[in-house]
Amino acid sequence: MKERLIAGIDLGSSTIRLAIGQIVVGQDKRETLNIIGAVEVPSQGIAKGAVSALEDAVSSISACLEQAERQIGLPLSEVYMGISGPYTSVQATKGVIGVSRADGEIRPEDVHRALESARALVNPANYEILHILPRRFSVDGQGGIKDPIGMQGIRLEVDAHVIQGLSTPVRNLTKALFRTGLDISEVVFAPLATSAAVLTPRQRDLGVALVNMGASTTSLAVYEEGELLHAATIPLGSDHITSDIAIGLRTSLEVAEQFKRSCVSALANQVEKREELDLRDLGADQSEIVSLRFVSGIVQARVEEIFERVERELQQIERSGMLPVGVLLTGGGVKLRGMTDVAKATLRLPVSIGISHQTPTPLSEAVQDPAFSTAVGLVVWGFENERGESLGRHGSSGARPSSAFFQKISTPLKKIFKSFIP
């Protein structure tokens, strides 16, 4: 059997990251996933998860693709694309149908019709439906059912989450990818993909919040009892920290970025009062001695603001301080020293850095980098999707037929997107 490649691309505002996995079939006929490639390039033409300059975006994606193909020595033809940002939303919906069989046995087609019924109730103009995630089923009033197939009943109800994206940003992102010659295996809501790489089934069952801090936005996904309970996008990220440093020191963004990456802490008390640094050592035109504690205080104020916004989201769903597993931080913006300490103080929950739980590979350093969690998660999502397990692992009912339904709605979506490419 030919070994297959699965690629996932994370189109960030500051960096484009591409991860490639290879499905290997062992002697026992068991399929395993090995991450064989991971590259990143500066992002141009993309801001807050949307295309701001198409030609620049195509150029950046092409550069990332060329570098990846050189790394693995193989051509890539298609990718799983992750999207998030303020133009995506998660909406609760409900579907109700009558069971089709005379004997009242619920079959996979009944589940499909229930999900279609839930989908039909959410049809806002100018939005594309990306995912339908069933949360709970009810049979003749009996609630809390995760998999109704094979049960007896007359009335089948489903509570589901519909994840949708604003049509124009989604189509422009897909157009940028198609212009590079790549096909799109599936458009995936990025927080779902990130959770595939970082969270274990037990963590999703007990209750956990996954916070992914990118350059311009911070995404939140909350899981409980194995289901996606809540998702939100906060329009603040690590670039806002850089801007605050630049304004506070009256220096360039380049110097501020170097300062953020190498010198400061998200917790000002971790820095000695006497610690100072000359900005010229970081590339500034003129010499200026600044206090590291002063700059760390600037950083701490912005980081606290971001986590206060996360806390508000948890309060809305009545989970403030109530998640047993706590909070996992991931994304390129969480690498600051002291980040977990600020999060613990603000959220009043256990906090740790979330890294991929994939089997170690020669690329372990990149795979376990929080910045690559979404790209690696897209590869994991693709692997599980090919094996028909994606819904069972990402906050759904776990019913295998639902995965087939998922593929039914994603294939026409790909055709729609591709129809816009000249």
DSSP symbols for 132-162? EEEEEEEETTEEEES--TT-B-SEEEEEEEE
How many other C-beta atoms are found inside a 10 Å radius of the C-beta of residue 276?
Answer: 12
- Cα 176 to Cα 59, 65, 94, 294, 410: the distances in Å are 9, 13, 34, 42, 19
pLDDT at 31: 85
* Contact (CB, 8 A) for 146 and 137: yes
Same domain, 285 and 345: yes
Q: What string of DSSP letters covers 15-84?
A: EEEEEEEEEEE-TTS-EEEEEEEEEEEE--SEETTEES-HHHHHHHHHHHHHHHHHHHTS---EEEEEE-
First to last CA, the chain: 36
103 lies in a domain? yes
Same domain, 158 and 220: no
Angle among Cα 7, 10, 13 to the nearest 5 degrees reads 155
How many other C-beta atoms are found inside a 10 Å radius of the C-beta of residue 331?
Answer: 27
Same domain, 208 and 150: no
Token output for 1: 């059997």
300 lies in a domain? yes
CATH number for position 103: 3.30.1490.110
**C-alpha to C-alpha distance for 243 and 202, rounded to whole angstroms:** 39
Same domain, 98 and 220: no
What are the pLDDT digits (tens) for 5-32? 999 999 999 999 999 999 888 777 788 8
CATH number for position 240: 3.30.420.40
Overall pTM > 0.75: yes
Is residue 174 within a helix (H) or strand (E), and if so which, with residue range?
A: helix 167-179
Domain's final residue, options 333, 356, 379: 356
Q: Please enumerate in sequence order all residues whose Cβ is within 8 A of that of 140, keeping only pairs 6 or more positions apart, or say none.
A: 153, 154, 155
Looking at residue 139, its amino acid is V
Same domain, 137 and 260: no
375 lies in a domain? no
316 lies in a domain? yes
Same domain, 222 and 329: yes
pLDDT at 3: 66
**C-alpha to C-alpha distance for 376 and 333, rounded to whole angstroms:** 17
Number of H helices, E strands in the chain: 13, 18
Same domain, 138 and 209: no
Segments of the chain with pLDDT less than 70: 1-3, 358-364, 388-422
Give the number of domains in the chain.
2
268 lies in a domain? yes
Domain's final residue, options 166, 185, 219: 166
Same domain, 206 and 324: yes
Burial of 73 (0-12, 13-18, 19+ CB in 10 A): exposed
419 lies in a domain? no
Domain coverage including residue 97: 88-166
